[in-house]
Amino acid sequence: MNSKVKLDDLNVHFGGTHAVKGVTIDFPANSVTAIIGPSGCGKSTVLRAINRMHDMTPGARVSGRILLDETDIYGRGVDPVAIRRRIGMVFQKPNPFPAMSIHDNVIAGYKLNGRMRRDEADEIVETSLQRVALWDEVKDRLKSNAMELSGGQQQRLCIARTIAVRPDVILMDEPASALDPISTLKIEELIEELKERYTIIIVTHNMQQAARVSDVTAFFYLGELIECDVTKKIFTTPDRKQTEDYITGRFG
């Protein structure tokens, strides 16, 4: 499998805390990689490092390399804004822009980059909403405020906003943990469809979700990558005892 994102000896420090310790891992292109592990294992920290979200955190230090198609995203002269356009992120809580319509939310990323023709904008809105299977539900009320949507719809809207700028990689931090089971299944179904076009890295606390949606699973513990393998192997016959204890609910 082609690797899209590659972490090479990634370390993240917050002040005196060594949160991510020498992680080296490949995220294959057009696949879903799930990152699992107990709270505090560094999984969200790793995810955030991939689109340079620690840049603004006081006391945060990132070392090692993160390659996006051979380009070190922490390299000299690399613009973090350009990186974030190629590496989108979806958060745990749906966060549509509250003062904007559904239409404007989808196109918000584009608007930041300057004006565009209305028909062009409409086309991006329609395509993006179709890709997240929201178009049929909202096409007659695109001017409505985004906050009128249900939680599950809001999350799909946020994913539409992320893919509207045509990223290569989508990072998802617990994207379904604030949603009801049906909305969760819709998001999972969507992830399955999105991987045809994008490389997806998802952090989840829900191990069954990792087992359902991912092709590859990485298990982190105390800031270290313990094991990374195809999902079937991780959930049936993992190599490391720590992994096995965690996925079977025996972690001490």
Instruction: Rule CB under 8 A: say whether 175 interacts with another protein.
Output: no
Whichever of 77 and 249 has its CB closer to another protein, that residue is: 249
Among 34, 50, 158, 247, binds another protein (CB under 8 A): 247
Residues 162 and 177: their CA atoms lie apart, in Å, by 18
Instruction: Rule CB under 8 A: say whether 249 interacts with another protein.
Output: yes
Are residues 202 and 36 in contact, defined by beta-carbon separation less than 8 angstroms? no
Beta strands in 125-210 (DSSP E): 169-173, 199-203
Residue 252: strand, helix, or coil: coil
Phi, psi of 76 (to 5 degrees): -60, 140
Whichever of 82 and 230 has its CB closer to another protein, that residue is: 230
Tokens 């409505």 — which residue? 144
Q: Give the dihedral of Cα atoms 113, 132, 151, 149; nearest 10 deg.
A: 70
Instruction: Rule CB under 8 A: say whether 248 interacts with another protein.
Output: yes
Instruction: Rule CB under 8 A: say whether 181 interacts with another protein.
Output: no
The H or E element that residue 28 is part of is: strand 17-28
Instruction: Rule CB under 8 A: say whether 235 interacts with another protein.
Output: yes
Whichever of 162 and 184 has its CB closer to another protein, that residue is: 184
For the CB of residue 235, give the shortest distance to another protein in the complex, in Å: 5
Whichever of 26 and 245 has its CB closer to another protein, that residue is: 245
Instruction: Rule CB under 8 A: say whether 39 interacts with another protein.
Output: no
Instruction: Rule CB under 8 A: say whether 238 interacts with another protein.
Output: yes
Are residues 220 and 41 in contact, defined by beta-carbon separation less than 8 angstroms? yes
Residue 168: strand, helix, or coil: coil
Among 211, 218, 225, 228, binds another protein (CB under 8 A): 211
Query: What would the two tokens of residue 202 be?
Result: 């998802």
Query: What would the two tokens of residue 112 be?
Result: 């930041």
Instruction: Rule CB under 8 A: say whether 252 interacts with another protein.
Output: yes
Among 34, 47, 207, 228, binds another protein (CB under 8 A): 207
Whichever of 85 and 240 has its CB closer to another protein, that residue is: 240
Residues 125 and 131: their CA atoms lie apart, in Å, by 10
Are residues 221 and 247 in contact, defined by beta-carbon separation less than 8 angstroms? no
Instruction: Rule CB under 8 A: say whether 230 interacts with another protein.
Output: no
Among 75, 99, 150, 251, binds another protein (CB under 8 A): 251
Whichever of 98 and 252 has its CB closer to another protein, that residue is: 252
Binding region for another protein (CB under 8 A):
207-208, 211, 235-238, 243-245, 247-252
